[in-house]
Amino acid sequence: MKERYNESAENYLETILILSHKLPVVRSVDIANYMDFKKSSVSIAMKNLREKNHITVTDAGFIYLTESGKAIADMIYERHQLLTRFLTILGVDPEIAEQDACKIEHVISKESFEAVKKYAAKAHNLGVD
């Protein structure tokens, strides 16, 4: 059974992953500031992600990805990075490439992404960090 995640949830999980590499701990306020969202919106999203067991939140308010949350975040982050680089290599303005990659990363099938990844690696030696 293949579960689809909504774009919003994927963006939140990706943001938690990115922030966890930059900050000692991730809190709702950090996510709100990074995404330029209201803290109340972030709180609702964190509740939903917690209910789906994609994150855990400590009593001190520190947010951590669970195994499933990290798997989704890693997948989205890899897509984002590779698609941004690929579009840039094709001559797309970096800012537009970034924006487009953010949209494409949520709708591209696994099969299509793997094909793009394989092509990019072979044709342009385009690895993902």
| Residue located via tokens 């494409």 | 104
Average pLDDT over residues 4-10: 81
The CA angle 89-92-95, to the nearest 5 degrees, is 110
What is the model's pTM?
0.85
Determine the pLDDT at residue 127: 56
Is the per-residue pLDDT at 3 higher than 90? no
Determine the pLDDT at residue 71: 96
Determine the pLDDT at residue 76: 95
Amino acid at 24: P
Q: What number of other Cβ atoms are within 10 A of residue 6's Cβ?
A: 10
Residue ranges of domains in the chain, CATH in brackets:
7-70 (1.10.10.10), 77-124 (1.10.60.10)
Per-residue pLDDT tens over the stretch 78-127:
999 999 999 998 899 999 999 999 999 999 999 999 999 998 888 766 55
Q: Cite the DSSP H helix spans in 4-93.
A: 7-22, 28-35, 39-51, 67-89
Per-residue pLDDT tens over the stretch 21-72:
999 999 999 999 999 999 999 999 999 999 999 999 999 999 999 999 999 9
Q: Is 61 in contact with 53 (CB distance < 8 Å)?
A: no
Determine the pLDDT at residue 42: 96
User: Band of the pLDDT at 129, cuts 50, 70, 90?
Assistant: very low
Determine the pLDDT at residue 112: 94
